Amino acid sequence: MKKRNLFLLAVIALVLITSVAFAGGQQEGGAAATDGPKVIGFSQCDSQQAWRWAETESVQNEAKVRGYELKYNDAQAVQANQIAAVRSFIAQGVDGIVLAPQVMTGFGPVLQEAKDAGIPVVLVDRLVAENEDLYFTFIGSDFVWEGERMGEIVAEETGGKARIAELQGTPGADPTIDRKKGFENIINTYPDMNIILSQTGDFNRTKGKEVMEAFLKAEGENIDVVYCHNDDMAIGAIQAIKEYGKVPGKDILVYSIDGIKDAFQAMVDGDLNAVVECTPLLGPQAYDALEAAWRGETLPKWVMSEDGIFLQKDAASVIASRKY
Ligand code: GYE
């Protein structure tokens, strides 16, 4: 072979070797190897609730503060959309994923795909029932604690005697299961506290109102208390009670979890009796966790939020200081 041909062959071989090596490196490290701003994918399960607007805002604002590029997807309460969104973040080679899962089950395969791609996933506000190795950490509240505190408040304010209607959150979601469990842990110790009606309102204001209307139609004269798994449903229930011709907060006591501004206003107005807080302001902690993952550190599998308890009489003095 001539010297010139040999040289050409060597150049071609070199190009081939380097391009193969480069492709391999990219696959292994995802986009983490790029020099630009960190790219984060945020998959929000739903956007029909005031609580979620606050959470999304927290994640978006903090991305700006830290100079990240944020890819946002709203799954519109459909888990399949959410799985597709996470898959698309992986395909785009993001540096990290923040996932607010709709329900506990069904995320295993896509979490495995993220893990295989070397992309850390931080769960926010709801947990999944998958192997802990599949996500970096979960940042959120203790929902059993929330339900128990609410059970105690209702027991206290009704003298341990109440016929209760329960508006549950989304079926299969962590906060629905545990807020029910925590509440029952307490009220089951009182013989005269009973849940007489219980149905899902999907954590949603409109559905909460519809379900409350049905409750009132069936048992309007027998409901002492409505226990709502979130504030949005409580706001809907309050509306339904007014339209039915009863006084919320007096004829029918109303209790809920979250602590959004609307709930504080409802307490100030006398319509809502108490709130157990559940903070949606999780953006900074979610990114702290991702940064720890990028540094190769580990975190506990649950970073627990600290939440408070607010009775109707406290609402007026704290409403101005509420951040969501
Ligand atoms: O209470 C509710 C939301 O997962 C903690 O879900 C969250 C709950 C929150 O839709 O408003």
pLDDT tens for each residue of 24-74: 333 333 444 557 999 999 999 999 999 999 999 999 999 999 999 999 999
pLDDT of residue 20: 41
pLDDT of residue 19: 44
In sequence order, the 6+-apart residues with CB closer than 8 A to the CB of 240 are 209, 210, 212, 213, 216
Q: State residue 74 phi and psi, 5-degree precision.
A: -105, 115
**43 alpha carbon to ligand 1 midpoint, in Å?**
15
Give me the count of residues in the chain. Answer: 324
Which one has a higher pLDDT value, 25 or 75?
Answer: 75
CA distance 269 to 229: 20
**161 alpha carbon to ligand 1 midpoint, in Å?**
28
What would the mean pLDDT of 163-174 be, rounded to a whole number? 98
pLDDT of residue 34: 57
- Minimal-distance CA residue to ligand 1 atom 8: 175
Pocket test for ligand 1, best of 48, 103, 125 (most atoms within 8 A of CB): 125
**235 alpha carbon to ligand 1 midpoint, in Å?**
14
State the closest ligand 1 atom to the C-alpha of 257, by its place in the atom list counted from 1: 1
State the closest ligand 1 atom to the C-alpha of 280, by its place in the atom list counted from 1: 5
What would the mean pLDDT of 201-228 be, rounded to a whole number? 98
Is 87:119 a contact under the CB 8 Å cutoff?
Answer: no
% of the chain surpassing 70 pLDDT: 90
Closest CA to 248 of 234, 264, 231: 234
**What is the per-residue burial (b if ≥16 Cβ within 10 Å, else e) of 119-155?**
bbbbbbbbbbebeeebbbbbbbbbbbbbbbbbbbbbb
Pocket test for ligand 1, best of 46, 48, 49 (most atoms within 8 A of CB): 49
State the closest ligand 1 atom to the C-alpha of 203, by its place in the atom list counted from 1: 10
What would the mean pLDDT of 241-265 be, rounded to a whole number? 98
CA distance 293 to 118: 10
pLDDT band at 15 (very low <50, low <70, confident <90, very high): very low
**301 alpha carbon to ligand 1 midpoint, in Å?**
20
CA distance 310 to 324: 15
What would the mean pLDDT of 203-219 be, rounded to a whole number? 98
Exposed/middle/buried for 114, CB within 10 Å: 0-12, 13-18, 19+?
Answer: buried
What would the mean pLDDT of 89-114 be, rounded to a whole number? 98
State the closest ligand 1 atom to the C-alpha of 46, by its place in the atom list counted from 1: 10
Q: Which structure tokens are listed for 65?
A: 């503060």
CA distance 260 to 210: 21
Pocket test for ligand 1, best of 43, 46, 51 (most atoms within 8 A of CB): 51
Is 80:45 a contact under the CB 8 Å cutoff?
Answer: no
- Minimal-distance CA residue to ligand 1 atom 2: 230
pLDDT band at 4 (very low <50, low <70, confident <90, very high): low
Pocket test for ligand 1, best of 99, 278, 279 (most atoms within 8 A of CB): 278
pLDDT of residue 35: 76
pLDDT of residue 17: 45
**18 alpha carbon to ligand 1 midpoint, in Å?**
49
**Ligand 1 neighbours by CB, cut-off 6 Å:** 49, 51-52, 125-126, 175, 203, 230, 232, 257-258, 278
Name the pTM for this structure.
Answer: 0.89
What would the mean pLDDT of 246-258 be, rounded to a whole number? 98
Q: Which structure tokens are listed for 304?
A: 């627990």
pLDDT band at 14 (very low <50, low <70, confident <90, very high): very low
Tell me the pLDDT tens digit for each residue of 170-194: 999 999 999 999 999 999 999 999 9
pLDDT band at 3 (very low <50, low <70, confident <90, very high): low
